[in-house]
Structure 1
Amino acid sequence: MDQTERRETTPPFTLLMAVYGGNSLREVERSVQSSTIEQTLPPSQVVIVRDGVVQDPVQRYLDTLQSTMSVWFTAEHPDMPVPEVTIVPLDENGGLAHALNVGLRYCAYDIVARADSDDVSLPHRFATLIPLFVRRSNAAHTNAQSRRPIDVMGSAIREFSDDEDEPGQIRMLPAEGSDLERYARMQSPVHHPSVVFRKSAVLDAGGYPEDSGRFEDYMLWERLMLAHAQFLNVPQALVLYRTNEAAYERRGGGEMFREELRLQWRFVRDGFTTPWQFLRNVFIRAIYRVIPTPLRKRMYRSMTSRHNTEIAASPQPPQPPKRGRHSAAPRTHADDAQSAQ
C-alpha cells in the first residue's frame, strides 16, 4: 500500500500543538516538520495555538506556515493534499491546558494527535498509531473488562538531549488492561507528547483541567479513566522527547512537591486512588522531589530501566507492519510528560 492508498483508507486527523515564548525557532520548525512532511501518513489539519507572545522568528514562521507547507508537499508529496494550517493566536499566555482546550475547538476531526513544540516525531509515528487506533475503535474490544473502543493511544518515547543521532533512554508503559490501570494509580498511564485521542471523549470529560499546575495531562487521564475510557500503549518508541539537566532540576523542589501533593489529594478525593495509595505516592514523591538533582537523575534512570524490564516481559499488542519510504529500520531513538515521573 503506497502513501496515497493509505491516506484514502485512513480517516483524516488533526495534529494539535501549542507554542509559547520559551520556544526557539529551531525547536518549533523541527517539531512541525517531523510531524507533517516527514510523516509517511501526514495529518489532514495542523492546529497550532500561539500561547501569548512568541519570539519574532517564531511568529514569522507561523505567519508563513501555510505557504511553507504547500511548498513542502508540492516537492515531497505532490500526490497528497496539503494539510490545512490553523494558527490560533492568544494575546496572553494562559498555560498549556488552556491553550490545548482552545485548540480543541478548532480541530476539525475527531481523531487528534498531540505533539509538543520541542519534541520530534519519528516518520512512522502516525502510520503506526492511526490505523491501529481506527482498528481498535471499530472492532470489539478484546479486554474482558470492557467492550468499549479505544479512546486514548500512546507509545513509548526515547529521550534525547540535543542531537537526535545520540538517543538516550527509552521510556515504556504497560500496554493496556489491569496492568495499565494499576500503573496509572502511581504514574501517568500515557506519554502526553505521544498520544492520539478521540476529541469527543476528551470534551465529554471536560477537557484539560486548567487548575492542575504542571499535571494537566495526568489529571485529564484520571478524568477519562473514571469515565471508563479505554487506553492503549504500543511498545515502539515513536517520539524523541527532549530532555536535559534543567528538566531534572524542574522535577524537584518544594513548589513541585506542593503541586504533586495537590494532585495526589485530588486523586484520593475523586476515588481514583485509595488512602493507602495516596500515602504511598506522597511518600515516594516526597523523596524524589527533595533529593539533590544528580541523585534524582540516577534514581529516575534506575526506576525507568526497571519498569522497562518488567513491561518488556509482559504481553504486548501486535506491531503493525511499517510501510513507505521512511520505513526501513527506524532509529529507535523523548515537561508535559514529566508528570509521568
Structure 2
Amino acid sequence: MGEPFALLMPVYRGDDAAHFAKAFTSSVTQQSRRPDQVVLVQDGPVGEPLAAAIEAAIAGCPVPVVHHVIAENVGLTRALTEGLALSEHDIVARMDADDISLPERFAKQVPLVEGGLDLVGTGMLEFLDDDGSIVGKRVPRTDAADIAAYSRFHDPFSHPTVVYRRSAVDRVGGYQPMGLMEDYWLFARMIAGGAAVGNLAEPLVMYRVGAGAYARRGGRAQWRSELALQRALRAIGFTTRRQHVRNVAVRGLYRFVPEPVRKVAYRRFIANGGAIAEH
C-alpha cells in the first residue's frame, strides 16, 4: 500500500459543467491509482448546470469528498489555501476543472513524491475546446539542476499537473497573492528553500486550449503581474540583477507583442523549454 494522497480541485462560476464533469471523473474514477480524498473548493456561487454537475460528481464519487463552498468569489490563491488546509494527507495532487488527467497520471507521479520529491509535474498535451484535436505538447525540464536554472526565467512546472507535499508548501508560506502568477511564485520559493523537485516529460494531463488562450497571456494586467513577480524574485535573491533585467525586458515585451507572435514565441521558448532560459 502506498501513501494516501488528496486531490485538490477548485471550481468557480466560469467553469463549464461538462468540462468539470470530465475533469473530475478523469482524475478520480478513471485513474488506475485513485486519490484517497477529494477536496473540491467552490470559489463563490455557481450557475445551475455547474451546481448540478458538482452534485452528481460528489454523489457518484467512490472516495470521500470535502465540498468546501466559499460564499463569494475570492480568487485562486485563497481557494487553494483553504483547500490545502482541508486535506487529510500530506501528498496533494492539483487539478483544474477544465482539463483531463490521463489514467496513469497518479500511478506514475505519486511514487516519485513517496520516493523523496517534494514537487513533481508532468508534460501536457494541449487540445482544442471544439473538437478535441491535439494542437500542442508541453515538454518540461526533468533534471533538478535544469529545472532550477530554467526557473530563473520561467515557471518550470505546469500548475494543473503538479503533485506536492503540503508540508513542503507550508514551509515556504504556502500560496501567496502575486497577481496572475501565484503558482510560479510558490514554486520559486520552494526551489529557493531547497525543495526536491522533478518533472516527468511524459504528458499525463490534457490541457484545454480555448479561444483567447494566448490573448490572455498579454495585456496590462499580465504586465503588472510580471513586474510584481520579477521584483519579488529579485528581492529574495532568486534571480541575479542581470537575470532580472533580462526577464523584465524579454518577458515584459512578450506581454505586448501581437497575439500570433506571442503564440509562436510561446511554442518556441516555453512549451519546449527553449535555451533562452540558460543565458
**TM-score, normalized by length of structure 1?**
0.78
Aligned position for 1:17:
9
How far apart, in 2, do the equivalents of 1:45 and 1:159 lie? Answer: 27
Structure 2, unmatched stretches of 5+, are none
- Identity over the aligned pairs, expressed in percent? 39
Q: Which of 101, 111, 122 in structure 2 is aligned with 1:131?
A: 111
Q: Which of 120, 127, 134 in structure 2 is aligned with 1:160?
A: 127
Give the AA of the match of 1:25. A
Aligned position for 2:59:
67
Question: Retained in 1: the 8 A contact 2:21–2:54?
Answer: no
**Structure 1 segment 76-87 matched on structure 2, within 5 A:** 82-87=62-67
Aligned position for 1:41:
33
1:198-238 per-position Cα deviation (integer Å, ceiling 9, x unaligned): 011111211100x2111010010122112111110011000
How far apart, in 1, do the equivalents of 2:132 and 2:208 lie? Answer: 12
**TM-score, normalized by length of structure 2?**
0.94
How far apart, in 2, do the equivalents of 1:298 and 1:114 lie? Answer: 28
Aligned position for 1:235:
201
How far apart, in 2, do the equivalents of 1:228 and 1:56 lie? Answer: 45
Question: Retained in 2: the 8 A contact 1:157–1:241?
Answer: yes
1:34-78 per-position Cα deviation (integer Å, ceiling 9, x unaligned): 101111111111110000011112112323433222xxxxxxxxx
State the Cα distance separating 1:177 from its structure 2 match: 2.4
Give the AA of the match of 1:58. L
**Structure 1 segment 154-193 matched on structure 2, within 5 A:** 154-162=121-129, 165-193=132-160
Question: Retained in 2: the 8 A contact 1:50–1:87?
Answer: yes
Q: Which has the larger radius of gyration?
A: 1
Q: Which of 55, 59, 77 in structure 1 is aligned with 2:47?
A: 55
Question: Retained in 2: the 8 A contact 1:172–1:308?
Answer: no
State the Cα distance separating 1:176 from its structure 2 match: 2.7
**Structure 1 segment 211-250 matched on structure 2, within 5 A:** 211-250=177-216
How far apart, in 2, do the equivalents of 1:306 and 1:105 lie? Answer: 34
State the Cα distance separating 1:307 from its structure 2 match: 2.8
Give the AA of the match of 1:272. F
Q: In angstroms, what is the RMSD of aligned CA positions?
A: 1.8
1:71-91 per-position Cα deviation (integer Å, ceiling 9, x unaligned): xxxxxxxxxxx2101100000
How far apart, in 1, do the equivalents of 2:6 and 2:101 lie? Answer: 15
Structure 1, unmatched stretches of 5+, are 1-8, 70-81, 138-149, 311-341
SS of the residue corresponding to residue 207 of structure 1 reads coil
Q: Which of 206, 221, 237 in structure 2 is aligned with 1:271?
A: 237
How far apart, in 2, do the equivalents of 1:25 and 1:244 lie? Answer: 15
1:141-182 per-position Cα deviation (integer Å, ceiling 9, x unaligned): xxxxxxxxx100111111111267521211111113221111
Aligned position for 2:90:
110
Question: Retained in 2: the 8 A contact 1:164–1:240?
Answer: no
SS of the residue corresponding to residue 118 of structure 2 reads strand
State the Cα distance separating 1:305 from its structure 2 match: 6.3
Q: Which of 89, 95, 99 in structure 1 is aligned with 2:75?
A: 95
How far apart, in 2, do the equivalents of 1:164 and 1:233 lie? Answer: 29
Give the AA of the match of 1:212. M
State the Cα distance separating 1:239 from its structure 2 match: 0.3
How many equivalent residue pairs? 277
Moved more, 161-170 or 46-55: 161-170
State the Cα distance separating 1:32 from its structure 2 match: 0.1
How far apart, in 2, do the equivalents of 1:305 and 1:53 lie? Answer: 34
1:234-275 per-position Cα deviation (integer Å, ceiling 9, x unaligned): 110000011134111111112211110111011001111011
Give the AA of the match of 2:34. P
Q: Which of 307, 311, 320 in structure 1 is aligned with 2:273?
A: 307
Question: Retained in 1: the 8 A contact 2:118–2:197?
Answer: yes
How far apart, in 1, do the equivalents of 2:222 and 2:264 lie? Answer: 19
How far apart, in 1, do the equivalents of 2:228 and 2:208 lie? Answer: 27
How far apart, in 2, do the equivalents of 1:170 and 1:186 lie? Answer: 20
Moved more, 222-231 or 15-24: 222-231
Give the AA of the match of 1:198. R
Return closer, same or farther for 1:306/1:20 CA change in 2, 3 Å cut-off: closer
Question: Retained in 2: the 8 A contact 1:47–1:107?
Answer: yes
How far apart, in 2, do the equivalents of 1:294 and 1:109 lie? Answer: 43
